[in-house]
């Protein structure tokens, strides 16, 4: 009962920056991470934290997979069913953040035959975000889907720290 929030970072590489910036101490946060999609143990931890009233905040890339990670962490699946309603909130990178910080995007190709915008909408992306993330298919509507994405590490360290502080403040995270 030392904190009300846990911070889940979608990817590796930020732990040293968070440690040096003393995020765990300044905000009384439990900090956890996985590399890409999470494992069942991560969902078990979120389940236990949720049972104790702890909300997990998810810092993620602005891409289809980031949106999917948040939606998966919020939902039961054949691999794992929550014992209590998971307290998971998305504080991930959004199109407004990308525009505000003028972050560089990169091309992305989606391998599936299904329109990725369907999953994006189901996972909470706006229509404007869907249009940015998915431009369409190849010539004559054939081939793979393509679009753009922006990773958390498109931000400088200073930008990342300032962005994360703003997000935590917006959710009311502070020193207990």
Contact 43, 82 (CB under 8 A): yes
Mean pLDDT (whole number) for 82-110: 96
Structure tokens at 3: 């904190």
pLDDT: is 113 or 87 the higher one?
87
Query: What's the distance, CA 146 to chain centroid?
Result: 21
Cα 97 to its chain centre, rounded Å, is 13
**pLDDT number for residue 38:** 63
Average pLDDT score over residue span 9-25: 87
> What pLDDT score was predicted for residue 126?
97
The stretch 78-104 carries a mean pLDDT of 95
Question: What pLDDT was estimated at residue 51?
Answer: 95
- For 40-81, the pLDDT digits (tens) are 888 999 999 999 999 999 999 999 999 999 998 999 988 899
Instruction: Indicate the pTM of the whole model.
Output: 0.91
Confidence category of residue 163, pLDDT binned at 50, 70, 90: very high
Asked whether residue 108 carries a pLDDT value surpassing 80, the answer given is yes
Judged against a pLDDT cut of 60, whether residue 37 lies above it is answered with no
pLDDT of residue 35: 66
The percent of residues above 90 in pLDDT, for the chain, comes to 66
Instruction: Decide if pLDDT at 128 tops 80.
Output: yes
36 pLDDT higher than 70: no
Q: What is the overall mean pLDDT for the chain?
A: 91
């Amino acid at each position: 009962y030392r904190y009300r929030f846990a911070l889940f970072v979608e990817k590796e590489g930020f732990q040293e920056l968070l440690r040096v910036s003393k995020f765990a101490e300044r905000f009384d946060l439990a900090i956890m991470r996985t590399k890409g999609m999470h494992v069942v143990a991560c969902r078990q931890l979120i389940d236990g934290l949720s049972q104790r009233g702890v909300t997990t905040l998810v810092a993620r890339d602005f891409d289809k997979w980031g949106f999917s990670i948040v939606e998966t962490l919020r939902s039961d699946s054949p691999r794992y069913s929550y014992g209590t309603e998971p307290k998971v909130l998305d504080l991930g990178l959004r199109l407004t953040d990308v525009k505000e910080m003028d972050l560089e995007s990169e091309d992305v190709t989606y391998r599936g035959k299904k329109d990725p915008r369907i999953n994006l909408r189901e996972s909470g992306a706006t229509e404007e975000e869907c249009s940015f993330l998915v431009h369409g298919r190849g010539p004559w509507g054939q081939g793979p889907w393509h679009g753009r994405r922006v990773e958390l590490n498109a931000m400088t360290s200073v930008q990342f720290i300032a962005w994360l502080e703003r997000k935590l403040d917006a959710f009311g995270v502070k020193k207990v």
